[in-house]
Amino acid sequence: MNRPDPKNVKQIACIGAGTIGGGMIAEFLARGYSVTAQDPGKDALASLERLLDQAWPILEQIGLTASASRERLRFTTDIEEAVAGADFVQESVPEDLELKVRIYERLDELVPPEIVIGSSTSGFPMTEIQRRCKYPERTVVAHPVNPPYLIPLIEIVGGEKTDPAVLDWAVSFYEAVGKRVLRMEKEIYGFMINRLQIALFREALQMIAAEQATVAQIDDCLTHGLGLRWASMGPFATFHLAAGDRGLGSFMDLHGSVEWRAPYVTETPLPDWTPELRARILQQAEEVIDGRTIPQMIEERNDTVIGLLKLREASRANAAKKHLGAAHAA
């Protein structure tokens, strides 16, 4: 099938212009695409303009492409008008499964079968969304992190009937947009981002309900502790450094047993701790370690955390100055 070149897309249709849809619209405009946004809401255009007013200065700091312009935006309430001539369709309607199924059924009728349609759904598998499509092979989940114009990661995963070539196309397209693409090979509810996010949030709720922690304590635990480390490296790389010069394998041998892990888990059952699982983790961790020595990784982590601490202190001082200036002006 003769699809548009994913690195040469010109015209994008964005169906839904709320918080996520509007964020994607802002990013597409900042990367020089022409965008037609569609939303039937009474105040949708005004809300979108407010979001763009907030997002555009941030995007200017990140760096606009030479052809970036808010003048490349057209708005309509008519879905047929929105998709006419589109090289790609981004759907971001509210998280209502039946609504998404209906929208995809309609898009399936209006959009030529060679045009890829991506959904920003935060939880529904594409297999469920594409079920009434005649051309389900061109549909794919493209789940961003809010706000999409600021956070680079986007998750890509297909449904049972999605063509693998469409996943390849979507990866190339979003990389051209400037996203960090996380391509998933298996469908799961919530995808990776929300599975991890909700697992942490669930533990936080458990501790608050049991009066073991407060909201402020949990936020401090992340913003002054785990979050600082995770900005530099994820949990497996972190544990790789936790065993001194012995690395991840030694850490898992010492701390990997069910007996050690069970007291820290309130909901999700743990997998069996088998030699096969241990070997798979170590093999996959090599991609993350990427040939770096433990001293190199420690230095990288330290530099990142020091930079973040200084940046946060400077940002808070700057915000306090602005607030004080605004108070004096009033």
- Predicted confidence at residue 327, as pLDDT, reads 67
d(CA 45, CA 241): 50
Q: How far is CA 196 from CA 116, 201, 234, in A?
A: 28, 9, 12
pLDDT tens readout for residues 148-175: 999 999 999 999 999 999 999 999 999 9
d(CA 234, CA 245): 18
Q: How far is CA 30 from CA 13, 54, 84, 152, 252, in A?
A: 15, 13, 22, 13, 44
d(CA 286, CA 288): 5
Q: Please, which residues have CB within 8 angstroms of residue 257's CB and are 6 or more apart in sequence?
A: 273
Tell me which residue of 3, 17, 5 sits closest to 74, measured CA to CA: 17
d(CA 307, CA 292): 21
Q: Please, which residues have CB within 8 angstroms of residue 34's CB and are 6 or more apart in sequence?
A: 10, 11, 12, 72, 74
Q: Is the separation of the CB atoms in 256 and 273 below 8 Å? A: yes
Residue 152, token pair as written in the block:
């680079």
pTM, whole model, 2 decimals?
0.87
Reduced 3-state DSSP string for the chain: CCCCCCCCCCEEEEECCCHHHHHHHHHHHHCCCEEEEECCCCCHHHHHHHHHHHHHHHHHHHCCCCCCCHHHEEEECCHHHHHCCCCEEEECCCCCHHHHHHHHHHHHHHCCCCCCEEECCCCCCHHHHCCCCCCHHHEEEEEECCCCCCCCEEEEEECCCCCHHHHHHHHHHHHHHCCEEEECCCCCCCHHHHHHHHHHHHHHHHHHHCCCCCHHHHHHHHHHHHHHHHCCCCHHHHHHHHCCCCHHHHHHHHHCCHHHHHHHCCCCCCCCCCHHHHHHHHHHHHHHHCCCCHHHHHHHHHHHHHHHHHHHHHHHHHHHHHHHHHHHHC
Q: Is the separation of the CB atoms in 3 and 112 below 8 Å? A: no
- Predicted confidence at residue 319, as pLDDT, reads 82
**Which stretches of the chain score pLDDT less than 70?**
255-269, 327-330
- Predicted confidence at residue 120, as pLDDT, reads 97
- Predicted confidence at residue 271, as pLDDT, reads 76
Could you state, in order of their start, the residue ranges of all structural domains in the chain? 11-191, 214-329
- Predicted confidence at residue 261, as pLDDT, reads 53
d(CA 103, CA 89): 12
Residue 110, token pair as written in the block:
């209006």
Q: Which CATH superfamily is domain 11-191 in?
A: NAD(P)-binding Rossmann-like Domain (3.40.50.720)
